[in-house]
Amino acid sequence: MSGQRGFLSIESKNIFSILKKWLYTEQDIVFRELISNASDAIEKLLTVQMADKTAGCYPQGKITVTLDGEGNRIIISDNGVGMTADEVNRYINQIAFSGAADFINQYREEQQDSIIGHFGVGFYSAFMLADHVAIETKSYLEEAAAVRWDCKSDMAYEMTTGARTSHGTDVILYLNKDNPYIEKADTVHDIIQKYFLFLKTEIYFDGPNFDHVLVNDTNPLWNQPDSQTTTESMNQFYRECYDDISNPLFWIKFESVDIGLRGILFFRDTKNQTEEIDGTFKIYNRGVFVGENIKELIPRFVNLQSGIIDCTNLPLVVSRSTIREEDQKADMASLIYECLSQEVTIGINHLFEKNRADYERFWPHLNAFVKYGILQDKIFASVMTRKVIFKDIYGQYKTIPEYMAEGEASAGGTVYYASDSVEQAHYIKLFKRCRLNALLFDHVIDQPFLRRQELIHSNVRFVRIDSDGEALFQGAIHDGDQGKIERLTSKIHHALGERLGQMELKITNLEEPSITTLIIHDEKSRRMADMLEIYGMINQADTSLKEMQSKSTFLVNLNNDIIRYVLEASEAPDPQGANCSKQTDLILNQLLDLALLGQGALNVEDVEGFILRSEDIINQWIK
Ligand SMILES: Nc1ncnc2c1ncn2[C@@H]1O[C@H](COP(=O)(O)OP(=O)(O)OP(=O)(O)O)[C@@H](O)[C@H]1O
């Protein structure tokens, strides 16, 4: 071939100037671009072979990256389709594909990293590392001559007869003095592995301390049939891929032929941490790394777990020859997004339906994930809302429909819940004593989850265990009670006076005789008070202000021995001269304090009175 010289076309100037700006920012992408081209060339040859039965049988595709320290070169070789002189002219010299130029112009104003990270600038990225780039290539076509192309970054090129004897391409980078790779074979190996860990074509690396080392896994687990994968292989894959010392709890393998998507979602062992942290989602395009945790592709709640997807139609790597319209890109992204929502929904629902024991065993790790998913994702919510489980106060897991079906406490469409099993321990015990049930809503996500449930199910009321319980404890007034109620009311007002504050007094016969007194909140006003506290409008310690905000009732059980004693106690001095009224006052004050203590709402000022009265009672015993 007689030498051909020329200058690169005008559009390439744009690319060069942009590349210069990007210099030193993300030089790793040179490897991504050039190895992708090599892999494409091998794929093209396979396509030719499949389409044309008369075509020869080509050797298995192979890419070799060589770090030549002595020659100060990096060489990327493939045995793919190669290029004829005409193709080099068309694809390399005239990069005048207007689409690409437009595309680059459009994005040049944007943040540079995001452009180069997501959209390949192709072969010309080689000039980020090298002042001089050469191509040695030979087309697979019979009779095609080998071609050598040399270009120094002054934009002039020269084409001469090449040295290759077999089809394929070598791209040779004569490195700049200040390139960061020549002494760092380990770094180069790791970069290739980062981008091409799962490429279908074998990639070998040669360099100081690397003797033709295979870099990638050409048959990743998500491409293998289930019969070939074992629990141990999955566990090992997960631990290595996500640098975790624990095995995953379980995984979901999925595939959508329509959009060319395959992947695995690993459910992480969160070790019962109360604050779950995000997982890592790795995204590949035909085994080429695209990015991690890309929010346009991975539903937010799915990203609480770790996973991997490989999609042949990913929009984020845009080939110069297949630049897609913006709206099409957005469509593909939302298809992937929806597909992931669906797969996760199917997987978790399957676990609930087919293996409830494991679903419950994993629940501490899945709790926030499932509830967050319901709050955030319509598809997931439509299936999983009725399958959220809560521990009840007896330690059994139940869905809300299961709890409602039990009757008793849920009569009238009410779900009783405890939001803090320590703070509300007194009421939990009370519920147990009355053989009633309530669910534990004690995760931080439970309150927003509950509010959403109320919006959706207007016929279900959620009531905290210490609120609106009067109906639950089934108070009743019998014939002849009226007189007792009046007498007791007067004794209570005499004893407690101002201490009752805004509280309503209610005297009734509760079915359960062991309950003496109870403070019951009005659910609505209690929530209002809690909200004011959350927004800092009420100080947490300021229990009296909180009380004022939340309407509550002081419930006194006529069907209780202590209350009967108070009721019957004479107000005249006894034969020893003791003042009986003083004694009932003391008992009633003490009962109010105990009710407040049960609520965790005893004021600092009241504590002193409570201690003195308690000592008084002990003194009366020991005398
Ligand atoms: N190793 C190779 N073997 C055969 N042809 C190649 C090789 N490298 C590049 N080419 C040809 O040169 C063209 C331009 O490559 P370039 O990497 O610049 O763009 P692209 O691969 O089309 O798009 P992208 O911007 O995504 O990289 C390719 O489309 C291909 O036809």
ipTM of predicted complex: 0.98
319 Cα: distance to centroid of ligand 1 (angstroms): 9
211 Cα: distance to centroid of ligand 1 (angstroms): 28
421 Cα: distance to centroid of ligand 1 (angstroms): 64
Position 103 scores a pLDDT of 42
Position 182 scores a pLDDT of 82
Percentages helix, strand, coil for the chain (3-state, rounded to 5) are 45, 20, 35
Task: Extract the tokens encoding 97.
Answer: 């594909």
Residue that has been written with the tokens 């005249």 in this structure: 572
Tell me the pairing of strands 414-418 and 461-464: parallel
Residue spans of the chain under pLDDT 50: 10, 23-24, 96-104, 106-107, 110-120, 274-275, 316-325
Residue 138: φ, ψ to 5°: -145, 125
Residue 224: φ, ψ to 5°: -90, 145
Binding residues are 33, 37, 78, 83, 98-99, 169, 320
**Class in CATH terms, 472-521+529-622:** mainly alpha
For residues 284 and 197, what is the distance between their CA atoms, to the nearest angstrom?
10
319 CA: nearest ligand 1 atom: 26
Ligand 1 site-directed mutation target among 37, 75, 76, 203, most atoms within 8 Å of CB? 37
Phi-psi region of 134 (alpha: psi -120 to 50; beta: other; left: phi over 0): beta
317 CA: nearest ligand 1 atom: 26
CA torsion sign for 468, 474, 478, 481 is negative
Alpha-carbon 141 to chain mean position: 51
Cβ atoms of 302 and 252 closer than 8 Å: no
Query: Domain segments of the chain: what residues?
Result: 4-214, 221-354, 389-465, 472-521+529-622
Cβ atoms of 406 and 479 closer than 8 Å: no
**Class in CATH terms, 221-354:** alpha beta
Residue that has been written with the tokens 């991975």 in this structure: 298
Q: Which residues line ligand 1 (CB under 6 A)?
A: 33, 37-38, 41, 78, 80-83, 91-92, 120-123, 169, 319-321
Going along 197-280, which residue ranges are E strands? 202-207, 210-214, 250-256, 261-267
What angle do the packed helices 356-376 and 326-354 form, to 10 degrees?
150
Position 112 scores a pLDDT of 43
320 CA: nearest ligand 1 atom: 23
37 Cα: distance to centroid of ligand 1 (angstroms): 5
168 CA: nearest ligand 1 atom: 3
Which residue type, as a one-letter code, is found at position 580? C
Position 23 scores a pLDDT of 47
Concatenating the DSSP letter of every residue in 458-517 gives: TT-EEEETTBS-TTTTT-B--TTHHHHHHHHHHHHHHHHGGGGTTPEEEEEB-S-TT--E
Which residue type, as a one-letter code, is found at position 365? H
Nearest-CA residue for atom 22 of ligand 1: 320
**Nearest-CA neighbor of 201 among 221, 216, 191?**
216
Position 111 scores a pLDDT of 42
84 Cα: distance to centroid of ligand 1 (angstroms): 13
Architecture of domain 4-214: 2-Layer Sandwich (3.30)
Nearest-CA residue for atom 26 of ligand 1: 319
Nearest-CA residue for atom 28 of ligand 1: 91
188 Cα: distance to centroid of ligand 1 (angstroms): 21
Residue that has been written with the tokens 């049939």 in this structure: 225
Residue 425: φ, ψ to 5°: -55, -40
Binding residues for ATP are 33, 37, 78, 83, 98-99, 169, 320
Position 341 scores a pLDDT of 94
Residue that has been written with the tokens 């870099």 in this structure: 215
Task: Give the fold, CATH level 3, of 389-465.
Answer: Rossmann fold (3.40.50)
300 Cα: distance to centroid of ligand 1 (angstroms): 35
For residues 155 and 131, what is the distance between their CA atoms, to the nearest angstrom?
10
76 CA: nearest ligand 1 atom: 1
Position 149 scores a pLDDT of 96
For residues 122 and 46, what is the distance between their CA atoms, to the nearest angstrom?
22
What angle do the packed helices 29-51 and 185-196 form, to 10 degrees?
50
Position 605 scores a pLDDT of 79
Nearest-CA residue for atom 11 of ligand 1: 91
113 Cα: distance to centroid of ligand 1 (angstroms): 21
